[in-house]
Amino acid sequence: MSVSITPLVASAVAAALPLLIAALGELVTERAGLLNLGVEGMMLLGALASFVAVTHGAGLPLAVACGLLAGMAGALVFGLLTISLQASQVATGLSLTILGTGISSFLGRGYVGYRAPASFEPIAVPWLSDLPIIGPLFELNILGYAAVVIMIAVGWLLARTRAGLALRSVGESPVVARALGLKVTRIRYAAVLFGGAMAGLAGTYYALAQLKMWQEGLTSGNGWIALALVVFATWRPGRVAIGALLFGGVTALGLWLQTVGVGVSTFALASLPYLATVVVLVSISADQQALRRFAPAALGKPFFDGD
C-alpha cells in the first residue's frame, strides 16, 4: 500500500494547485467585500486566451500574460457593473460565468481537440523530489511553484502590510474605510482585478499544464469548487492550501480507485469532488458563529460611494 501513496499525493497536488490559485484570487476579492461568482467564467476566458496564444506561436510567458489579462477583462466587467453601476453581485457573477462559458466555447470551437504545442512541465527540485510521500510537492511546474509563492505573498500582504489592512477594512466596513480616507472604489477594483488575474492563471494551468489540449468547458466546475474553498478556509490563505489539497486528494482518490478497478461506477467516483464540496460547505456553515467571526462583514453587500 505504502508504495502507491506517493503517486496518489502527486495527483492530489496536481489537482489542488489550480484550485489554490483561483481560490486565493477569490479570497482577496471577498476580503474586499465583493462576492464574485464569475470565477468559472473568468477561468475559462483565461484558459482560452492562453491556449489560443500558444497555438498561434506565442511563447509560454506571453501565453500566461494573455491568460491573466483575459481573466482581468472578465473581472473588469464585474467591477464596472457591481462597483460603479451598483448591480447585484450575485447576478453579475452568474452572468459573468454564463458569458465566459459562452465566449470560450464560441471562440474555442475551432480549437477543440487541438494539442497545445508548448506546455508547462514539472521541474524537480534535486533530492527533495525523491523523498517518499512528500516528494511530489517538490516536482511542480512553474505555475505550481508560482501558486505557492502567491499563497505566501497573499498571506503576508493581508496580515502584515498597510495595503492588506486597507483591503480588509474596505471589506469589513466600506463606510468607515471611506471616513478614514481610504479610496474604497479603487481598492475594490484592485481586489476584483487580482481575483480575475488569478482565475485567468488557474484557467491557464488547466489549459497548458494539466490537460494540454482544448476542450469545451475544460474547467468542469472547478471555479465553483474554488468558491467553496474560500468558505472552507474561512477566508484565511493558509487554510485555502489545506482545503485545496483535501479536494485534490478526493479527486485523486477517485481517479486512483478507477484505475485500481473497484466495483464502483466511474461516474460515482467522478462525482466525489462535488459531493465533498457539499459536505464541506454543510459542515463549515453549520457553525454560523465561527463563520460570522471570520467572514468579511460587508461581503456581498452593496456600497454606493456617492451617498
Which spans of this chain sit near another protein (rule: CB under 8 A)? Answer: 37, 77, 80-81, 84-88, 90-92, 94-96, 98-103, 105-106, 109, 220-221, 224-225, 227-228, 231, 265, 267-268, 270-271, 274-275, 277-278, 281-286, 288, 291, 304, 306-307
Of 58 and 87, nearer to another protein (C-beta) is 87
Nearer to another protein, 109 or 160 (CB): 109
Whose cell is 516536482? That residue is 139
User: What is the nearest approach in angstroms of another protein to the Cβ of residue 238?
Assistant: 22
Q: Are 42 and 200 in contact (CB under 8 A)?
A: yes
CB of 45 to another protein, least distance (A): 11
Q: How far is the CB of 257 from another protein (least distance, A)?
A: 15
Q: Smallest distance, Å, CB 262 to another protein?
A: 15
Question: Which distant-in-sequence residues (6+ apart) come within 8 Å of 167 by Cβ?
Answer: 28, 31, 32, 158, 187, 191
Nearest distance from C-beta of residue 56 to another protein, angstroms: 18
Instruction: Closer to another protein by CB, 5 or 91: give it.
Output: 91
In the complex with another protein, which residue's Cβ is closer, 143 or 276? Answer: 276
CB 24 within 8 A of CB 240: yes
Is 165 buried (19+), middle (13-18) or exposed (0-12) by CB count in 10 A?
middle
**Cβ nearer to another protein, comparing 260 with 286:** 286
- In this structure, what are the phi and psi dihedrals at residue 108, rounded to the nearest 5 degrees? -85, -5
Rounded Cα distance between 154 and 47, Å, is 23
* Cα dist from 117 to 53, 56, 153, 217, whole Å: 10, 9, 31, 20
Least distance CB 8 / another protein (angstroms): 22
- Which CB atom, from 49 or from 227, has the smaller least distance to another protein? 227
> How many angstroms separate the CA atoms of 174 and 188, rounded?
10
